[in-house]
Structures are given as structure tokens and as C-alpha cells.
Amino acid sequence: MKDIKRKIHKIDATGKVLGRLATEIVIILRGKDKPDFQPHINAGDIVEVSNCDQIKVTGNKLTQKEYIHHTNYPGGLKRKKMYKVFDQDPGDVLRLAVIGMLPKNKLRSEIIKNLKIVKGDK
């Protein structure tokens, strides 16, 4: 499997729901849509996503969902609401959704490098 041929998939995120778009991206990134899928090999394709600022978020997630991380110092719990992350960079919301759906192992950092989020010119 040294000669892995990677295709480039271009996805337009206009009007698509965040979670459903993320699952579609993860399937392509992992290579689960290929007949020779093996879970321990990074044989997925490259995904380019455009128009991330037009992603739909259902329900009250935009105001209620929080992204949490800890700095490993006492009292170092950091919280950030989804709408603040979306205002700063809508691509980060999609990237965090995709990262959460990938397997939590050494392949995750290699697989996420194949996700390219194209910034739109305004």
C-alpha cells in the first residue's frame, strides 16, 4: 500500500448541516468509501471544503454548545461558546467536529492533515 493514490474531493458547505457534513468528510478522509479499506492505514483522500461560513447549525447548539479544554494547571478550565468560535473562524467549528469523529489514536493527526478548509474572500 505504498503507492496510495489520493484524489481531491471539493465540497461546498453552503446550507449543509454541520454534523452531517462532518460525517461525510470523515468517511472520505479515512478511506471507508474505498473497497480496500484497512483501519490501520491512512489511505483516505484529500478533502477541500469551501463556504464554511454558510454552514447550518440545528437546534440551540450555536448558543448552548461549549468547547472545553484544560491547561493542566489548577483552575485552568477554559470554555468557549460555539457562536464565538464560529464568529472568529467558521472553519474551526467544522474542523473540531471532524476531529471529534476521527479515531482517538496516532492516525488522527495524520488524517486531519488531509482536510483543507478554503477561506472565502469577502
Q: For 63-88, what is each residue's pLDDT tens digit?
A: 999 999 999 999 999 999 999 999 99
Identity at 4, one-letter amino acid code: I
CB 45 within 8 A of CB 6: yes
Q: Which residues form the domain of 50? A: 8-57+90-117
Predicted pLDDT of residue 119:
85
Domain count across the chain: 1
Domain membership of residue 14 (yes or no) is: yes
Domain membership of residue 109 (yes or no) is: yes
Domain membership of residue 32 (yes or no) is: yes
Is pLDDT above 50 for 35? yes
How sure is the predictor about 122, in pLDDT bands with cuts at 50, 70 and 90? very low
Domain membership of residue 84 (yes or no) is: no
Is pLDDT above 90 for 104? yes
For 97, the grid coordinates are: 467536529
Burial per residue of 28-66, b for 16 or more beta-carbon CB atoms within 10 angstroms, e otherwise: bbbbeeeeeeeeeebbbbebebbebbebebeeeeeeebe
Domain membership of residue 68 (yes or no) is: no
Domain membership of residue 67 (yes or no) is: no
